[in-house]
Amino acid sequence: MEYRDRVLRCVECGADFVFTSGEQFFYAEKGFRNDPKRCKTCKTQRGHTDDASRPVKQRAVTSTTCSQCGKETTVPFKLTQGRPVFCRECFRQRQVNG
Protein backbone atom coordinates (compact mmCIF):
# COMPACT_ATOMS: atom_id res chain seq x y z
CA MET A 1 0.00 0.00 0.00
CA GLU A 2 1.26 3.46 -0.84
CA TYR A 3 1.08 6.14 1.84
CA ARG A 4 1.00 9.90 1.26
CA ASP A 5 1.49 12.70 3.75
CA ARG A 6 -1.84 13.92 5.14
CA VAL A 7 -2.71 17.08 7.03
CA LEU A 8 -4.69 16.50 10.24
CA ARG A 9 -6.11 18.93 12.80
CA CYS A 10 -5.11 18.69 16.48
CA VAL A 11 -8.06 18.19 18.84
CA GLU A 12 -6.25 20.11 21.62
CA CYS A 13 -5.01 23.31 19.98
CA GLY A 14 -6.70 23.19 16.56
CA ALA A 15 -3.41 23.52 14.65
CA ASP A 16 -2.80 21.56 11.47
CA PHE A 17 -0.02 18.96 11.54
CA VAL A 18 1.37 16.53 8.98
CA PHE A 19 0.79 12.79 9.39
CA THR A 20 3.73 11.63 7.28
CA SER A 21 3.77 8.57 5.07
CA GLY A 22 6.44 7.07 7.33
CA GLU A 23 4.26 7.55 10.38
CA GLN A 24 1.31 6.02 8.54
CA PHE A 25 3.44 2.99 7.64
CA PHE A 26 4.52 2.67 11.29
CA TYR A 27 0.89 2.86 12.47
CA ALA A 28 -0.17 0.20 9.95
CA GLU A 29 2.75 -2.04 10.91
CA LYS A 30 1.83 -1.83 14.60
CA GLY A 31 -1.85 -2.45 13.85
CA PHE A 32 -3.02 0.96 15.04
CA ARG A 33 -6.43 1.68 13.53
CA ASN A 34 -6.87 5.35 14.48
CA ASP A 35 -4.99 8.36 13.19
CA PRO A 36 -3.19 10.53 15.76
CA LYS A 37 -5.42 13.20 17.28
CA ARG A 38 -2.79 15.58 18.68
CA CYS A 39 0.14 17.47 17.23
CA LYS A 40 3.63 16.76 18.60
CA THR A 41 3.56 19.80 20.88
CA CYS A 42 0.27 18.81 22.53
CA LYS A 43 1.37 15.16 22.77
CA THR A 44 4.54 16.23 24.57
CA GLN A 45 2.56 18.41 26.98
CA ARG A 46 0.25 15.50 27.80
CA GLY A 47 3.19 13.18 28.44
CA HIS A 48 2.57 10.74 25.59
CA THR A 49 6.07 10.76 24.11
CA ASP A 50 9.39 9.34 25.19
CA ASP A 51 10.77 12.85 25.19
CA ALA A 52 13.05 13.90 28.10
CA SER A 53 10.76 16.87 28.79
CA ARG A 54 7.87 14.52 29.55
CA PRO A 55 6.14 15.16 32.86
CA VAL A 56 6.57 12.37 35.39
CA LYS A 57 3.32 10.88 36.62
CA GLN A 58 3.15 10.50 40.38
CA ARG A 59 2.02 7.20 41.87
CA ALA A 60 -0.33 7.11 44.81
CA VAL A 61 1.59 5.97 47.89
CA THR A 62 -0.36 4.88 50.95
CA SER A 63 0.94 4.05 54.42
CA THR A 64 -0.68 1.02 56.04
CA THR A 65 -0.07 -1.97 58.30
CA CYS A 66 0.79 -5.42 56.89
CA SER A 67 -2.16 -7.82 57.32
CA GLN A 68 0.20 -10.72 58.06
CA CYS A 69 3.03 -9.44 60.30
CA GLY A 70 1.65 -6.09 61.48
CA LYS A 71 4.69 -4.10 60.29
CA GLU A 72 4.18 -0.52 59.04
CA THR A 73 4.59 -0.41 55.23
CA THR A 74 3.78 1.68 52.18
CA VAL A 75 2.01 0.48 49.04
CA PRO A 76 1.87 2.07 45.55
CA PHE A 77 -1.93 2.10 45.31
CA LYS A 78 -5.04 3.31 47.09
CA LEU A 79 -6.48 0.85 49.58
CA THR A 80 -9.83 -0.85 49.08
CA GLN A 81 -11.93 -2.03 51.97
CA GLY A 82 -11.93 -5.75 52.76
CA ARG A 83 -8.70 -6.63 50.92
CA PRO A 84 -5.57 -7.69 52.83
CA VAL A 85 -2.39 -5.68 52.30
CA PHE A 86 1.07 -7.18 52.74
CA CYS A 87 4.54 -5.73 53.20
CA ARG A 88 7.16 -6.61 50.60
CA GLU A 89 8.58 -9.53 52.61
CA CYS A 90 5.20 -11.14 53.36
CA PHE A 91 4.04 -10.60 49.77
CA ARG A 92 7.13 -12.38 48.40
CA GLN A 93 6.76 -15.16 50.95
CA ARG A 94 3.15 -15.71 49.86
CA GLN A 95 4.24 -15.82 46.19
CA VAL A 96 6.88 -18.48 46.92
CA ASN A 97 4.50 -20.59 49.03
CA GLY A 98 1.76 -20.36 46.44
Of the ranges 13-17, 48-52, 57-61, 73-77, the best mean pLDDT one: 13-17
Q: Report the pLDDT value the prediction gives residue 50, as an integer from 0 to 100.
A: 52
In the structure, what pLDDT confidence band is assigned to residue 65 with cuts at 50, 70 and 90?
very high
What's the length of the chain? Answer: 98
Average the pLDDT over 48-77 and give the result: 77
Residues 6+ apart with CB under 8 A from 13: 39, 41, 42
pLDDT at 21 over 60: yes
User: Taking the model in full, what pTM does it have?
Assistant: 0.47
DSSP 8-state class, residue 65: E
The domain segmentation of the chain, as residue ranges, is 6-46, 62-97
pLDDT at 86 over 80: yes
Question: Torsion-angle region of residue 14: left (phi > 0), alpha (psi -120 to 50) or beta?
Answer: left
